[in-house]
Amino acid sequence: MELIGEATSWSGPTESCIEARERAFGAYLANGERRAAARLALALVRDYTLKQAGSAAAGWFQQAERLLEGEPECPEHGYLALIRIRLGKRRQRGQTANPPSETGDVHGLVQRALEIAQKFGDRDLEVLVLHNKGSMLIAEGEVDEGWALIDEAAAAAATGDLRPTATGSVYCWTISTCRDLLEVRRAGEWTARFEQWCERTALPGGWRGDCRVHRAELLRLQGRWTEAEEEAESASEDFLRFDMPAEIGPAAYEIGELRLRRGDLAGARDAFRRALEAGAEPQPGLALLRLAEGSPIAGFGELARALADLPDAPIERARLPAFVELAVAAGRVGAARDAADELEALAMLYGSDALTATARWARGVVLLAERDSASAVSPLRDAVRRWHAIGAPYEAARARASLAEAYEAVGESDAAVLELEAALTIFERLGAAAAARRATALLRGGYADPATGTFLFSDICGSTRLVEAIGDEAWLDLVEWHDRTLRGLFDAHGGEEIDHAGDGFFVVFRQPAAALGCGVAIQRALAEHRRNHGFAPSVRIGVHAAEAISVGRGYRGKGVHAAARVGALAEANEIVASRETAEAGRVDFTRPRVVALKGLSEPVEIVSIDWK
């Protein structure tokens, strides 16, 4: 029954695990095996704690204490001390007011648990205690020493020498600590090692519950938003399967964060509501939602109250840099400055990569609000560099957008355009609709001009195979002929070449008829060359008319991306256009069909242009 309890702790549901362990407890107790019964009681403390059944957990803790009274020293005494250590840590952080037993001196408990682990050769216990000692040292300001112990514990778990439950606990705690302190790079490294462990052990589910939520947070930072939302949804399913509906809150909150970044305000509102109903803290996401809805003062007030509840919890306060953004938007620059000061102090204390990047961004944003744009450039440049080094594209793009504002304010418009273009590209790739709209508005408002054009994309099909077939020298001659021929046709039809990457062109025309006429002329010229000379490369062409942003000699925006996606749908020797463009150009077409274009929310009807 004890083994069944262990197995179902991984496969669920939790009630089956608890039933098996309670039956095992009863059998051991009936046999007079007090140590084994205490071991099961301690496992049940964990189970009921996960179910947030505090009274039941306290009862089983008392059972374990009573059973071990008078027993010779044994590993179970070490695990009892481990629970007291974790209760002591939670009480210090204000997470529990009434622990089931007096925790005593936590450092003394750590030393005793380590001595028991080493005396009995219990590697699981030793590694679990090392991690907890490390997190205690970090909370006390001994950051380097604390991380050294946490990394040591995680490395030990990665070897596969521990039992599954101990390994899973170490990784979950490690990732959670990284999340609390915004240690993104370290979280990524240990996440990769945990994934390898999951593959080796083939345990059912691998990631589950809280670990899935933490992994979703990491995926969000890495810009892998679709995977992140799937992981958060899977975490919700895990909590239901393991009969822990109260734990759904953090998963719902993470879904809200992702939807907010995509600009799905209604979806974000629903997710934050579900998080709140499950007892989770909906901040800072809910406050940022208020800002997105145009109510920065309301959001500022909500977030200020949430921060006031955590006056002595620096780790939690370090997770609320959004306060700076809300304070600036609400016109409370003094409050924003104080928050930026606090973030810088926390960054100096903990030294984490993402926390330092956040602090530099916050300082730059405050300096912008104080109209000291020249001083804002340096911290914002540093924030961009740090976020890129971490591999957090959305945060890097937001820092770039702020940097663009600083450049524009000091009269460096060219630099502002470059930064904002780079930010817009990232926002559009990620599907960050709200941020993309703001970046577009900034370009239109001061850095660039709105324009409507018809965009043509062309590309040689099968170029890699063609190079292999004819050789490099012949390929260069072919490309030179291709480029010369197409450029002559672009000029003849009034096209303006915007970009030439590899063997493809991006060209803009004033009217759909000119762009489509040029596309037809290209395909006919290539066909004629095949008839007269035996060969010409196969080219695919896409044409789409849309509004875009004119930036210098270039064009940016959703319309350009849509045109590129339309071009990618064409086959060899084909011209594909959006139906509206084809009808505006008054050309014959066939094969109308509705397609979904990557990165765009609405489908587009496309057609094939009859050019023969």
Contact 227, 234 (CB under 8 A): no
Mean pLDDT of 480-507: 89
Structural domains for the chain: 352-447 (1.25.40.10), 449-609 (3.30.70.1230)
pLDDT for 254-273, tens place per residue? 999 999 998 889 999 999 99
- What pLDDT score was predicted for residue 438? 83
Q: CA-to-CA distance for 473 and 55, rounded, in angstroms?
A: 80
Mean pLDDT of 21-36: 94
Mean pLDDT of 552-566: 79
Rg (alpha carbons) of the chain, rounded to whole number: 30
- What pLDDT score was predicted for residue 566? 92
In sequence order, what DSSP letters do the residues of 529-552 get, joined into one string?
Answer: HHHHHS----EEEEEEEEEEEEET
Residue indicated by tokens 């002929």: 481
What pLDDT band is residue 15 in, cutting at 50, 70 and 90?
confident
Tokens of 579: 């139906």
Q: CA-to-CA distance for 163 and 43, rounded, in angstroms?
A: 14
Question: Would the pLDDT of 166 be above 50?
Answer: yes
Q: Please report, rounded to a whole number, the percentage of residues in the chain having pLDDT higher than 70.
A: 91
In sequence order, what DSSP letters do the residues of 9-67 get, joined into one string?
Answer: HHHS-HHHHHHHHHHHHHHHHHTT-HHHHHHHHHHHHHHHHHTT-HHHHHHHHHHHHHH
Q: CA-to-CA distance for 17 and 550, rounded, in angstroms?
A: 63
3-state DSSP helix/strand/coil percent for the chain, to nearest 5? Answer: 70, 10, 20
Tokens of 67: 């059973």
If we measure between CA atoms, which residue out of 423, 381, 416 comes closest to residue 552?
A: 416
Mean pLDDT of 484-507: 89
- What pLDDT score was predicted for residue 318? 55
What is the 3-class SS of 488-526, one letter each residue?
HHHHHCCCEEEEEECCEEEEEECCHHHHHHHHHHHHHHH
Q: Which backbone phi and psi does 273 adopt, to 5 degrees?
A: -65, -45
**At 352, is the secondary structure helix, strand, or coil?**
coil
Indicate left, alpha or beta for 431 from its phi (over 0: left) and psi (-120 to 50: alpha): left
What pLDDT band is residue 202 in, cutting at 50, 70 and 90?
low
578 sits in which H/E element: strand 575-578
- What pLDDT score was predicted for residue 173? 86
Q: Please report, rounded to a whole number, the percentage of residues in the chain having pLDDT higher than 90.
A: 42
Contact 146, 102 (CB under 8 A): no
If we measure between CA atoms, which residue out of 422, 433, 393 comes closest to residue 260?
A: 433
The distance between the two most distant Cα atoms of the chain, rounded to a whole number of Å, is 102
pTM for the whole structure: 0.66
Contact 425, 533 (CB under 8 A): no
Residue indicated by tokens 């374990």: 64
Contact partners, residue 389, CB within 8 Å, separation at least 6: 353
If we measure between CA atoms, which residue out of 124, 167, 127, 166 comes closest to residue 150?
A: 127
Question: What letters, b where the CB count within 10 A reaches 16 and e where it falls short, cover 391-414?
Answer: ebbbbbbbbbbbbbbbbbbeebee
Q: Which backbone phi and psi does 369 adopt, to 5 degrees?
A: -65, -30
**At 575, is the secondary structure helix, strand, or coil?**
strand
Strands 539-551 and 575-578: parallel
CB atoms within 10 A of CB 144: 9
Lowest-pLDDT range of 415-419, 464-468, 476-480, 600-604: 600-604
pLDDT for 204-244, tens place per residue? 555 566 777 888 888 898 888 998 998 888 888 777 766 66
CB atoms within 10 A of CB 342: 20
Return the amino acid letter for 336: A
Question: Would the pLDDT of 94 be above 60?
Answer: no
Cis peptide before 284 (omega within 30 of 0): yes
